[in-house]
């Protein structure tokens, strides 16, 4: 992937071009290399979620944890061993991306006028300064959550929170007075680097390594410290004895519940089942309603949706402000800011819940029971797909309400409802529906939930 991106940067493909930095930068300038590696770190959050989450959850998934917990090993050794293996594996993945970028810039068919002198230290410096701390931070959060909760879903929720911090920092950097906050708030360090090199000349950007300014150092120390806190919490809470007696409160209530009294014989009314087109329609409607209701009762789904709504509310400061000049919060500006910011969260939501909705029965070991019910095969499949498509529509209604609320709060009442309906439900919902079909198809064909993600 890195090799392909570098080839596109270098103009190897006619009609395809990516611009990183500004037009005066060399393609392999240290600043450009750092920006690309930071981008790989951001894109690698979901990869980290899969690898670190799987490392912490795998033994519980296959019910092999009693075998490990009864061996003569310390909980800290088990914890560090699992974490270190996932950390090293992620380092190798990011090294592969860096090597792909390095060899890509050496290709002779690229535009040599846009490529500067080769510097191995430029790759190593940004890799050690940005990539390795990012992997440690993300891995510490996700691995600790997977081990302590014994579930994979919290790791994906934490990934969303990390992306939320990154996007929030990106919005703050638009204001000169809050750039220092953005430099500290960005968990991946990209905004701190941008602040550090903001006033560099093109010559300095092409020659100098990323400077170790106070904002860059503070950003790295703060987020490495956050990762260390998660590691400390994990080592403090993780214990073999506690996890042998684990289980949710609901499970414990079920175990301790008194035995039910035997039911005496009672008469039953003769029922003649009727299977016709009306029955199929009722079954289909009921199944769609059940799937949607399950989604909005899922705490992780609600957490992702709540994070998205919170981000939209915080992002409203960008509405009605153009290049430092206050403007009216007109509808097209509200849609441009809110709908654009919401796209990433919607992608995560669709990806996450497509796996949930397809794999729920198999994870609960109820798939054979569902398969034996007197309903056609198409009803569960189509109802799940329709429910998955309706969920983004419901979230877009929430986005519309937030947009109207922002306009009302700022004293602007020319809402232009037709623009909301056209943009959100005619254009955006169509795109999200196609993404739902793609995600649902992949989860159905690929016989692995997290690989489908």
**Domain-embedded: residue 259:** no
The pLDDT value recorded for residue 13 is 47
Let me know if residue 208 belongs to a domain: yes
**128/38 same-domain check:** yes
Q: What is the pTM of this model?
A: 0.69
Tell which wins on pLDDT, 274 or 143.
143
DSSP-derived pairing of the beta strands 325-326 and 321-322:
antiparallel
Domain assignment of residue 217, yes or no: yes
pLDDT digits (tens, 9 = 90+) for 173-213: 555 566 777 778 788 888 888 888 887 887 887 788 888 88
Report which listed range, 158-172, 179-193, 218-232, is most confident.
218-232
Per-residue buried b or exposed e for 155-191, using 16+ beta carbons within 10 Å of the residue's own CB: bbbbbbebbbebbbbbbbbeeeeebbebbbbbbbbbb
Mean pLDDT, residues 86-107 taken together: 85
Please indicate, yes or no, whether residues 203 and 85 belong to a single structural domain of this protein: yes
**DSSP output for 8-21:** HHTT-STT-----S
Condensed to tens digits (0 to 9), the pLDDT of residues 258-294 reads 666 665 555 566 667 777 778 888 888 888 888 888 8
Does the residue 265 lie in any domain?
no
**Position 122 pLDDT exceeds 70:** yes
At residue 92, does pLDDT exceed 60? Answer: yes
Better-scored residue on pLDDT, 242 or 346:
346
On whether both 71 and 216 belong to a single domain, the answer is yes
The answer to whether position 258 is within a domain reads: no
- Do 94 and 161 belong to one domain? yes
pLDDT band at 389, cuts 50/70/90? very high
The verdict on 292 and 184 lying in the same domain is no
209-225 b/e (C-beta count within 10 Å ≥ 16 → b): bbeeeebbeebbeebbe
Do 295 and 245 lie in one domain? The reply is: no
Name, in order, each residue with C-beta under 8 angstroms of 73's C-beta and a sequence gap of 6 or more. Answer: none
Domain count, the chain: 2
CB neighbour burial string for 340-353, b if at least 16 within 10 angstroms, e if fewer = ebbebbbebbbbbb
Taking CA atoms, 142 is separated from 46, 74, 152, 236, 448, in Å, by 10, 21, 9, 16, 20
236 domain-assigned:
yes
CA dihedral 141, 142, 147, 148 (to 10 degrees): 50
Domain end call among 216, 250, 284: 250
With CA atoms as reference, report the closest residue to 183 among 229, 223, 140. 223
pLDDT per position as a tens digit, 309-363: 777 777 776 676 666 667 777 888 888 878 877 787 788 788 878 888 888 777 7
Q: What are phi and psi of 326, to 5 degrees?
A: -75, 135
**What distances in angstroms separate CA 146 from CA 64, 141, 223, 309, one per listed residue?**
16, 9, 20, 25
Is 239 in the same domain as 297? no
Residue predicted with more confidence, 294 or 15: 294
Q: Range of 377's domain?
A: 274-452
Residue 16 lies in a domain: yes
Domain-embedded: residue 8: yes
Show which of 250, 282, 298 is a domain's final residue: 250
CB 288 within 8 Å of CB 383: yes
User: Looking at the structure, do residues 143 and 7 belong to the same domain, yes or no?
Assistant: yes
244 shares its domain with 291: no
Question: Which of 234, 250, 266 is a domain's end point?
Answer: 250
Of the listed ranges 24-33, 161-170, 285-294, the least confidently predicted one is 161-170
Same domain? 54 vs 178: yes
Is the pLDDT reported for residue 218 higher than 70?
yes
Q: What is the pLDDT of residue 247?
A: 47
Q: Where are the beta strands (DSSP E) in 76-202?
A: none
> Quick one: pLDDT at residue 228?
92
Q: Which of 144, 164, 166 is nearest to 155 (CA)?
A: 144
List the structure tokens of 195. Answer: 């602040």
Arithmetic mean of pLDDT over the chain: 78
Of the pLDDT bands very low, low, confident and very high (cuts 50, 70, 90), residue 435 is: very high
Which helix or strand (DSSP H or E) is residue 281 part of?
A: helix 277-295
Average pLDDT over residues 125-146: 89
Clarify whether residues 304 and 196 are in a common domain: no
pLDDT of residue 404 exceeding 50: yes
Q: Let me know whether 80 and 148 are in one domain.
A: yes
């Amino acid at each position: 992937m890195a090799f392909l991106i570098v080839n596109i940067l270098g103009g190897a493909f006619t009609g395809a071009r990516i611009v990183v930095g500004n037009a005066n930068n060399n393609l392999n300038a240290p600043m450009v290399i750092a920006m690309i590696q930071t981008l790989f770190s951001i894109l690698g959050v979901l990869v980290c979620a899969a690898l670190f989450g799987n490392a912490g959850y795998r033994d519980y998934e296959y019910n092999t944890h009693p075998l490990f917990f009864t061996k003569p090993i310390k909980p800290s050794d088990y914890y560090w061993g699992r974490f270190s293996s996932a950390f090293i594996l992620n380092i190798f993945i990011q090294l592969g991306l860096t090597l792909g970028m390095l060899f890509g810039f050496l290709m002779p068919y690229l535009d040599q006028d846009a490529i500067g002198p080769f510097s191995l230290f430029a790759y190593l410096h940004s890799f050690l300064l940005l990539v390795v701390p990012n992997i440690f931070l993300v891995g510490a959060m996700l691995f600790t959550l997977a081990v302590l909760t014994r579930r994979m879903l919290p790791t994906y929720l934490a990934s969303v929170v990390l992306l939320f911090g990154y996007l929030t920092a990106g919005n703050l950097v638009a204001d000169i007075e809050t750039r220092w906050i953005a430099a500290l708030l960005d968990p991946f360090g990209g905004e701190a680097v941008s602040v550090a090199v903001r006033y560099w000349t093109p010559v300095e950007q092409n020659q100098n390594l990323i400077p170790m300014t106070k904002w860059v150092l503070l950003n790295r120390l703060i987020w490495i410290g956050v990762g260390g806190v998660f590691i400390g919490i994990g080592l403090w809470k993780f214990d073999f004895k506690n996890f042998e007696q684990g289980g949710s409160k609901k499970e414990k209530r079920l175990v301790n519940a008194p035995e039910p009294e035997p039911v005496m014989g009672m008469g039953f009314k003769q029922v003649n089942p009727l299977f016709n087109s009306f029955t199929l329609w009722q079954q289909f409607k009921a199944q769609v309603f059940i799937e949607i209701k399950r989604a909005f009762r899922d705490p992780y789904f609600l957490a992702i949706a709540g994070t998205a709504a919170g981000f939209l509310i915080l992002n409203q400061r960008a509405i009605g402000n153009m290049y430092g000049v206050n403007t009216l919060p007109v509808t097209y500006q509200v849609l441009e800011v809110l709908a654009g910011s919401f796209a990433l969260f919607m992608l995560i939501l669709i990806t996450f819940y497509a796996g949930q909705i397809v794999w729920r029965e198999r994870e609960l070991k109820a798939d054979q029971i569902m398969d034996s019910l007197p309903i056609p095969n198409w009803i569960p499949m189509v109802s799940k797909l329709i429910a998955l498509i309706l969920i983004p529509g419901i979230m877009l209604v929430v986005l519309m309400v937030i947009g109207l609320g922002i306009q009302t709060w700022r004293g602007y009442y020319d809402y232009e409802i037709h623009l909301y309906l056209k943009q959100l439900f005619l254009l955006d919902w169509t795109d999200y529906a196609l993404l739902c079909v793609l995600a649902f198809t992949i989860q159905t064909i690929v016989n692995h939930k997290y690989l489908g993600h």
